Structure 1
Amino acid sequence: MPLQIETIPCRTDNYAFLIHCEESGETALVDAPEAAPILAALERNDWKLSHVFITHHHADHVEGLDGLKAEYPDLRVVGAADDAHRLPPLDMAVKDGDKFSFADETVEVVDVSGHTVGHIAFHLPDEKAAFTADSLMALGCGRVFEGTPEMMWDSLSRLAALPKETIIHSGHEYTMTNARFALTIEPENEALKARAKSVEAAREQGLPTVPSLLSEELDTNPFLRAHLNEVKRAISMEGAGDAEVFAEIRRRKDQF
């Protein structure tokens, strides 16, 4: 039986995700920005929270955990061993390449350092789902706060290599701004222009633009396209290395 995945808007622009198995009754949460909307979703669905998967240490991804533990004291918290010193206490510390089971489904751990060092993503191959938080985002990627552009490019390249039908569940509603920026890099990209219109229409209706298909990101997200000759030409960096081009696109976005 396929798992049910629900997107939970939190705080100003954060997203958390509930993953529920009807057969076992287990429910996992990816990141805990804010307790109240997550508890409300659990109550509405009559689900009981059993696990929390933490992607990285930033407050807007963990500060709802205490409120959730007050309601579900037996929660099992999963997070990166390399980041354990600044995460809430972990019941399971995982590293890049680790695999563990949730509701009889395999969960693969992918190191996606760059935004922070120790940031991880969770890939559920049987569900064609990846939870990437502030690494790969809809039409964007996170700022490089702790790592290097080379590190972030390597992380994004690893995510880009997942099956194209993978659904990317990212951590923030930044897509409209990301679309406007992406058009400054590839103004003639027809797929991007169509997606920007779709994103604008969704936001006008108050609808989320997360999650998104990896295939769509590969066609439209400039941060995944830094290796392409047409992108290098568009920003006058023909012949430059892929990570160098990524760094320039990230620099432009930081100033956008």
Structure 2
Amino acid sequence: MPDIRLVPCLADNYAVIVREGDTVMLVDAPEAGPIREQLKADGWRLTHILITHKHDDHIAGIPELAAEYSPIIVGPEAEQDKIPGLTRTVREGDKVEVGPMVADVYETPGHTSGHVSFHFPKEKLLFSGDTLFALGCGRLFEGSPAQMWHSLSKLRALPDDTSVYCGHEYTLSNARFAITVDPHNKALQERAADIARARDAGQPTIPFQLGLDKATSPFLRADDPAVATGVGTPGASPETVFAEVRERKNNF
């Protein structure tokens, strides 16, 4: 398995550095400083940057890191005019070779219209940016609830033992919200307690196992009657249930 470093950036962002042999990959670049410090601490030289979407808190570090390391920079085709320094653009179904590792690209719009996620099946790693969070999902700045539900359904179909790295440390708030709409879920109650303990100890809640999120996140269970009932929409379509879950979280 590759060596992985989770790098806190800004107020609550994460960047992720992955080394496999001579290849060193960064996923998202919120700011250059902490990323450079981690690279220097490990004695690693950056070779690739993968970008999930165009928001500044995921791309602001690109120019400085590109000037220092000259990496290959990969990002979504649909947002290429908003992301500086891309050397390759990708879309649904593309594969990205990062040294010995190979990622499948999924278009996962909703948070932004061109958002992509990167899945490395051999390494069992998913980099979901701001589409899928632990017990949550990104706000719908540019997409519809139906569009985001479709994006999440793509990621939900991946294997349970996938380790998910997302873009933010929002998990404690997400857990508190999830319990309000799914109060009888024992797995969720146990997970929420674990999350609270981790955050009290100053520990990250990322990565998380996709299978656990499938069992506990209302955002991945909009087709579960328990979640539909929990938000007052029994019998409604998953898209309708998801829209209500997302709206309630917006106002939580």
Q: TM-score range by the shorter chain?
A: over 0.9
> How large is the RMSD of aligned CA atoms in angstroms?
0.8
Partner of 1:131, secondary structure, is strand
Aligned-residue offset at 1:67:
1.8
Distance in 1, matches of 2:136 and 2:36, equals: 29
Instruction: Please say if residues 28 and 51 of structure 2, whose CA atoms lie closer than 8 Å, have aligned partners that are also in contact.
Output: yes
1:56 alignment counterpart: 53
Confirm or deny: 8 A CA contact 2:66 2:85 kept in the other structure: no
Match of 2:5 in 1: 6
1:234-253 alignment to 2 at 5 Å?
Answer: 234-253=230-249
**Which amino acid is 2:68 matched to?**
E
Q: CA–CA distance in 1 between the matches of 2:217 and 2:250?
A: 15
Matched residues in 2 for 1:86 and 1:69: separation? 16
Tell me the SS of whatever aligns to 2:53.
Answer: coil
The 5-angstrom pairing of residues 162-241 of structure 1 reads: 162-241=158-237
Q: Which runs of 4+ in 1 moved over 2 A?
A: none
Deviation at 1:4, TM superposition (A): 1.5
Aligned to 1:30: 27
Q: Deviation of residue 103 (structure 1)?
A: 1.5
Q: Are 1:88 and 2:84 an aligned pair?
A: yes
Please name the residue that 2:37 is paired with.
40
Q: CA deviation at 1:81?
A: 0.8
Q: Percent same amino acid at aligned positions? A: 45
Question: Could you tell me which of 110, 123, 127 is aligned with 1:127?
Answer: 123
In the alignment, is residue 66 of structure 1 matched against residue 63 of structure 2?
Answer: yes
Q: More deviation in 83-92 or 118-127? A: 83-92
Shift of 1:235: 2.1
Tell me, what secondary structure is at the counterpart of 2:122?
Answer: helix
Q: 1:80 offset after TM fit, Å?
A: 0.7
Deviation at 1:89, TM superposition (A): 2.7
Residue 255 of structure 1 deviates from its aligned partner by 0.5
Shift of 1:116: 0.3
Q: Which one-letter code corresponds to 2:60 in the other structure?
A: E
C-alpha deviations, 1:84-128, integer Å up to 9, x for none? 111113111111110121122211100010000000000000000
- What is the deviation of 1:50? 0.6
Q: How many corresponding residue pairs? A: 252
Structure 2: gaps spanning 5 or more residues: none
Q: Distance in 2 between matches of 1:178 and 1:191?
A: 15
* Distance (Å, rounded) in 2 between the aligned partners of 1:100 and 1:220: 31
The alpha carbon displacement at 1:82 in A equals 1.0
> Please, which runs of 5 or more residues in structure 1 have no aligned partner?
none
Aligned to 1:21: 20
Q: Does 1:118 align with 2:114?
A: yes
* 1:229 Cα offset (Å): 1.2
Letter in 2 for 1:228: D
The residue type paired with residue 13 of structure 1 is D
Q: TM-score, normalised by structure 2?
A: 0.98
Q: Per-residue deviation at 1:131?
A: 0.1
Normalising by structure 1, report the TM-score: 0.97
User: Contact 2:133/2:166 (CA < 8 Å) preserved in 1?
Assistant: yes
Deviation at 1:70, TM superposition (A): 2.7
Distance in 2, matches of 1:197 and 1:149, equals: 29
User: What are the superposed Cα offsets for residues 167-204 of structure 1, whole Å, 9 maximum, x if unpaired?
Assistant: 11000000000000001001111111111111010001
Indicate the SS of the match to 1:249: helix
- Is this contact kept in 1: 2:63–2:84, CA < 8 A? no
Is the partner of 2:74 in helix, strand or coil?
Answer: strand
